[in-house]
Every structure is written in C-alpha cells, then in structure tokens.
Amino acid sequence: MNAVRSYSDEQLRSLVFPLLIEQILGILVGILDTMMVSSVGEAAISGVSLVNEINFLVIVVMGALTTGGAVIVTQYIGSGNRSYSNLAAGQLVLISSLVPAVFMGLVLVLHRQILHLLYPSISPEVMQACIIYFVITAFSFPFLGIYNSGAALHRSMNMTNVTMRVSILMNIINLAGNYIGIFILRIGVAGVALPTLISRAVAAWIIIRRCFSPQNEIVLMKKNILTVRTDVIRKILSIAVPNGIENGLFQFGKVLVASIVATFGTSQIAANGVANSLGTIAYIADSAMGMAVITVIGRCVGANDYNEAKYYTRRLVMSAAIMTGIANLILYLTLPISLKLYTLTPEAAVLVRRIITIDCVVATVLHSAAFVLPNALRAAGDARFTMHVGILSMFIMRLLGGYILGIRLGMGVIGVWYAMFADWVVRIICFVWRYRSGEWMKYRVVGER
C-alpha cells in the first residue's frame, strides 16, 4: 500500500517550477548585465565582477537571515501554530531591514578602504569602475533585505508563483534600465548599477505589501514587526547565525580567491568574471531546489514527520541533479554562441571556453549533493554542522588550494577552479555522512521531537 505523501507531484511542481523560472530569469539578466558592461571595456567588466564578489558577501549574509526565518516559519506552519508563524514573520522582516542598512552605511563610509584592502594591485581604471558600482549598489541593500524576507515568506506559504511574477518585473526593470544607461545615456558602469537599485526598491515595495493580506496563510502585522521578541529572534538566529557565518565566510573566501585571480592580469580577471556569469546557468536547478527544500523539509520537521523529511530530501536532491545535468548540456552546446556575445580578447575567450567545459562536467556530477543536501539539514535545524563543514572546506580546499594551484604551481585561474571542485568533494563526503547518521534529526527548533 502506498503511503499518503505530504506533497503530491502536482504540488511539488507548482512549488519548484516558479522557483526555477525565477532563477533562470535572474541568471539570464545577470549574464546580459555582464554582456552589456563588456561593451564598455575590460576595465568595466573587471570592476563589476570584483565588486560583485564583495556584494555577494552581503547578499549571502542577508540570505542567511531569510533562510533562518523561513525555517522557523515553516516549522511553525508544520506544527499548526499560526500565531507564532505570524510573529516569526514579523521578526524576520524587522531584522532583514536593519542588518542590510548597517552594511549600506559601512560601504558608503569605507568603500575606498575596502577596495584597496582587497584589490591593491588592480589598475586605476578598474578601481574607478569598482568605486562607482560599489557605492551605487550599496544603496540597494536595505531594499534587497526587505524583498528577500517577503519572498521567503511567500515561499514558506508555497506561493512561489508570486515571487516569480515579482522577479519577472524586477528583472524587466533592471534589463531595460541597463540598456538605457549603457547604450542611450552612455554612463558606463553607473548604467548597470542604477537599474539594480531601482528594480530592487520596486520589488521590495510590491512583495512586502502582499504579505499583509489577511487571506494569506501567514499574515504580516505591524505590531509583529515593531515589537522585539527575543525568544523568536533567538530561534531565527539559531539558524541564521551559523548559516550567516558559513555563507559569509564562504563568500569572503571567494573574495579572497578573487584577490588571487586579480594578480593574474586583466584578461584572466575578465575570463573569470565571464565564466562565473555563464557558469551560473549550471547551478540554476540547484538554486531553485535549495529554496524548495527549505519549505518542504521545514514543514515535515515541524510536523515531526522524519520519514517524510528523508523521502523528500532524497527525491529533491536527485531531481536537482537531473535538472543540473540538462542545464549543463545546454550550456556546453550553446557555448560557441554565448562567447560571441561578449567583448573579450582572444586570450580571455580561450580561458572561458576551457573553464566552462570543465565546469559543465564536474557540476553535473557534484553540485547538487554539495549544495542542495545541506539545505535539508538546515531546514531540520542542523545548521551548526553545515557551518563547520562549509567554513573549513572553503578555507582549506578552495582558498589554500587556489593559492597552491593558481600561484605556487603557476596554473593561474584554471587552478583556482580546480580548487573549487575539490571543495565540493569534501562537502559531499561530510554532508552525506551526516545525513546517513541521522544526527540531523535531533535539532528541531520549534519544539521537542
């Protein structure tokens, strides 16, 4: 006899498909951003790619907050406690507004010091592009924090169709603004940064308004935003802090890796930036499925149903791997066309082709297990273990390995990518062991098991 599952196939598709479309749109717009900036010159594309490494550090820390909030909200939903779901939603919006505002202030005051510290060897032209892009995009941090919290709440309610539609609008605004800024107004790097600010502000306003609807499964209330509840915030931070430390140090490690790449010269910097941009296509399915895992596993754990949690973990990780393989095949087959859309030197183009070819093979085999599986552990409350593994593997395998392979052995940017793949292998070994051990089932946040 077949067991009745928490999610039907149709419900899973309705949850995952909008997330997949949302990720595809976001990544395609990011690629088009890079293409448009490349028309301004290699200094511009190098500056944008280097600052994006720093901006992603801020973004992943904000993402950790929303992940922590989403885990708590979904576990409360699974347990049937609606009042605490609403309270947790309000506290999530509160901290997701304040933390990025602090980051914005730091960047506005210390942007030159930060850039000179991390990238001391870049040319004056690249530094100027970095400064322009860094300052303008910093103003968007609070809006992005609000948007992320609203999107996380909608995903917790299985309303991913809403986040998809808002994402479509945000990307249309961004893309149209890029075209106007670069090709009509001809303001270079600023022409990419300003649309990012505007699009995030509009998206934040739209999605947070929808959270106040009384018809929602979770209803955002002003009193829950303006009142500080330390008990709920502690629960959110019990997931968010380890996740934020992991993701923050992970991205900081990537910034340090980027500083290694910055010593290889402008062509290798540009090649790494384009490869990172194109390579995100390989991770679309994993990004979408990682968010779906938080919702599905969080609800199962909240309901204290670990058989369902294990079933959906296996199913979603396997589905992510299959979709990732398809995405990598498409990326590889369209690579000759994609490269023609960038303004690159022959040396940079050869490097991009080589990096992407290797990445397509490795990502198909490894990426889903390395990055979707740990989200199931986080959704169950086992965030400290993923933090320890993520930090140690990042700094030992990716950073130290990148230094040894890239600089000491003279492999350049290719060596940096090989070190990244080694990081994935270590993560998989640790996370698969943790999952099979069953230890992750002891960390339910909203109540005793």
Contacts of 412 (CB under 8 A, 6+ apart): 264, 268, 406
Here the tokens at position 14 are 């309705």
pLDDT tens digit string along 297-331? Answer: 988 888 889 999 999 999 999 999 999 999 899 99
How wide is the angle at C-alpha 314 spanned by C-alphas 310 and 315, nearest 5°? 115
Residues with Cβ within 8 Å of 205's Cβ and at least 6 positions away in sequence, in order, are none
Query: Is residue 190's pLDDT more than 60?
Result: yes
The residue-averaged pLDDT of 203-225 equals 91
Vertex 270 angle, CA 131 and 144, to 5°: 50
Query: Per residue in 162-184, pLDDT tens?
Result: 999 998 899 889 889 988 998 89
What pLDDT, on a 0 to 100 scale, did the predictor assign at position 449? 44
Q: Looking at residues 145-155, what average pLDDT do you find?
A: 91
Mean pLDDT of the chain: 86
pLDDT class of 7 with cuts at 50, 70, 90: confident
Is pLDDT above 50 for 63? Answer: yes
- Rounded to whole angstroms, the Cα distance separating 332 from 239 reads 37
> Computed over its alpha carbons, how large is the radius of gyration of the chain?
21
Residue 11 in this model has a pLDDT that exceeds 70: yes
Percent of the chain, pLDDT > 70? 96
d(CA 379, CA 71): 5
Check pLDDT > 50 for residue 2.
no
Domain residue spans of the chain:
9-442
Q: What is the pTM of this model?
A: 0.77
The residue that leads in pLDDT, 51 or 244, is 51
Burial call 255-264: b when 16+ CB within 10 Å, e when fewer:
bbbbbbbbeb
CA 89 to chain centre: 21
141 exposure class (CB count in 10 Å sphere: 0-12, 13-18, 19+): buried
